[in-house]
Amino acid sequence: MGVRLKDHDIYVGSLQQQLNLRFAPPMGTKETFGGLEEMVALQKEFEIFKEGRRFHTSIAVLNLVGAANHETKNRFYDYLASLRGMKSNIAGQSGDVAIVKALVRNLSAKKPLPVHFALHDMNESKEANRVIVTDKARPLFYMDQDYLVISLPLGVAPVKKAK
């Protein structure tokens, strides 16, 4: 996101947190209905994620960045829209398509997994400049919980050299 968010990079962590809370594991009581349970119900009723619909459109419908200022929100949506032109670790699928298909499949599964949105350095290697979808992993060492993991590539904007 760094290249697109620029001086709004301080919001990256909170944007990631909002995504992760929206798809968080169930907390086990009626009073705490939300996270994954709510996403499954919303998906069933409204098909928020749908093949052919762009990921950033579905995220906008969920208003996940409602607390952010408009410039940050627009830059974040611009970043998510850019995933359409990015590769994924799934052959023949752009990052956008891979994310949407994974979410549709997961949210309609008999036992859907919570979703963890991770971030990785897109400049680490040539292969790192892509969306990475992992159907089942344990990204949080402190939780005994399997997740669908969607890792988004981030990179800092290149520094212009003075002449």
Across 75-80, average pLDDT: 91
Nearest residue to 113 via CA among 145, 142, 89: 145
How many other C-beta atoms are found inside a 10 Å radius of the C-beta of residue 58?
Answer: 21
Quick: pLDDT tens for 2-21: 455 556 567 788 889 999 99
In sequence order, which ranges of 50-130 are alpha helices (DSSP H)?
Answer: 55-62, 70-82, 95-107
Quick: pLDDT tens for 88-141: 999 999 999 999 999 999 999 999 999 999 999 998 888 889 999 999 999 999
pLDDT of residue 160: 60
Quick: pLDDT tens for 48-59: 999 999 999 999
For residue 1, count CB atoms less than 10 angstroms from its CB and return exposed for 0-12, middle for 13-18, buried for 19 or more.
buried
127: left (phi over 0), alpha (psi -120 to 50) or beta: alpha
